[in-house]
């Protein structure tokens, strides 16, 4: 199996996926057109790994070796030697098709493409990849560097050989794959998007504060994070894209984006990455650091 993996997109999800692959021993080429995003991900990753050393989960030698396996680039051609490429950009079908079309031009025919989409049809994304038979859905959970679950979904044209290889690759990362059909939201976001929107509507209706709702859900339900802590990690801009995609596919009222989210985006209150969302933050460290 390949020892070189590509990750296209180095936002919150892409950076976490890159850590997972590098931690498993793979050389990881992380592509993003934004050089500042690559640098931000590098700094956040180093901080996360430093915390892992402080907690005794990594030695300094292991940290340095892991960082050495992570290679950031703004040149898509640098992914040409990858046998597995994971697309991890925002939830927009046209943008994904554009990226995958470029990747199809530079990657060998045998390279398997995966998408980290959480809402869009695998079959629809694969249709613009140039290799629908060598395409699979791999939805990592947020934060990817800490969560083991990966939702694996085949498109209508995904070959059996691709599915077997992708499943084995996922297990080689130390992740726990589960098989889902190619349906809106798969398992997790089928529940999570309406749940988050319901919580946001409680704020809109003045029922309780984000702080108290988070405390209530963590204390009563035993969740490690409250809905607004997780929403701030996801980002208001990403939540809007998730809602728009899910609502467009299902027409489910609870999936429709609450007006408050749009106002927060307009105000620049995107969540942890901007320093303010439903909560305020004094740093932009990666979750777990």
CA distance 244 to 265: 14
Active site residue 284: no
The DSSP code for 78 is G
Active site residue 189: yes
Q: How far is CA 235 from the centre of its chain?
A: 12
Catalytic choice (52, 83, 116, 118) = 118
Catalytic choice (189, 196, 229, 269) = 189
Active site residue 269: no
Structure-token pair, residue 73: 């680039």
Catalytic choice (52, 91, 116, 151) = 151
The DSSP code for 286 is P
- Strands of the sheet with 135-140, listed across from one edge: 70-73, 27-31, 4-8, 84-87, 112-115, 135-140, 149-154, 176-180
DSSP symbols for 145-210: TT--EEEEEE-TT--HHHHHHHHHHHHHTT-EEEEE-S-TTTTHHHHHHHHHHHHHHHHHTTS--H
Q: CB-based burial of residue 35 (10 Å sphere; 0-12 exposed, 13-18 middle, 19+ buried)? A: exposed
Catalytic choice (129, 139, 197, 274) = 139
Q: Is 235 left (phi over 0), alpha (psi -120 to 50) or beta?
A: left
Active site residue 110: no
Cβ contacts of residue 241 below 8 Å, gap of 6+?
90, 91, 92
Nearest to 119 by CA among 245, 253, 247: 245
Which residues participate in catalysis according to the annotation? 118, 139, 151, 189
């Amino acid at each position: 199996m390949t020892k070189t993996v590509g990750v296209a997109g180095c936002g919150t999800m892409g950076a976490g996926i890159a850590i997972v692959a590098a931690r498993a021993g793979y050389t990881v080429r992380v592509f993003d057109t934004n050089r500042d995003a690559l640098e931000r991900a590098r700094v956040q990753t180093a901080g996360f790994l430093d915390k892992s050393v402080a907690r005794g989960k990594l030695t300094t030698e292991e940290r340095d070796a892991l960082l050495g396996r992570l290679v950031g680039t703004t040149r898509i051609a640098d992914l040409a030697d990858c046998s597995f490429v994971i697309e991890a950009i925002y939830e927009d079908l046209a943008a994904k098709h554009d990226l995958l079309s470029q990747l199809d031009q530079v990657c060998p025919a045998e390279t398997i493409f995966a998408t980290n989409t959480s809402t869009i049809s695998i079959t629809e994304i694969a249709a613009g990849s140039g290799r629908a038979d060598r395409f699979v859905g791999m939805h990592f959970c947020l934060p990817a560097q800490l969560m083991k679950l990966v939702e694996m979904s085949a498109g209508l044209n995904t070959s059996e050989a691709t599915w077997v290889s992708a499943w084995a690759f996922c297990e080689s990362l130390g992740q726990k794959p589960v098989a889902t059909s190619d349906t809106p939201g798969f398992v997790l976001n089928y529940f999570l998007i309406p749940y988050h929107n319901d919580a946001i509507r409680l704020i809109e209706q003045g029922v309780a504060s984000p702080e108290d709702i988070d405390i209530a859900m963590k204390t009563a339900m035993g969740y490690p994070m409250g809905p607004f802590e997780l929403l701030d990690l996801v980002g208001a801009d990403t939540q809007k894209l998730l809602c728009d995609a899910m609502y467009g596919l299902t027409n489910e009222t609870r999936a429709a984006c609450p007006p408050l989210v749009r106002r927060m985006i307009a105000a620049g209150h995107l969540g942890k990455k901007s320093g303010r969302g439903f909560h305020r933050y004094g740093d932009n460290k990666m979750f777990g650091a």
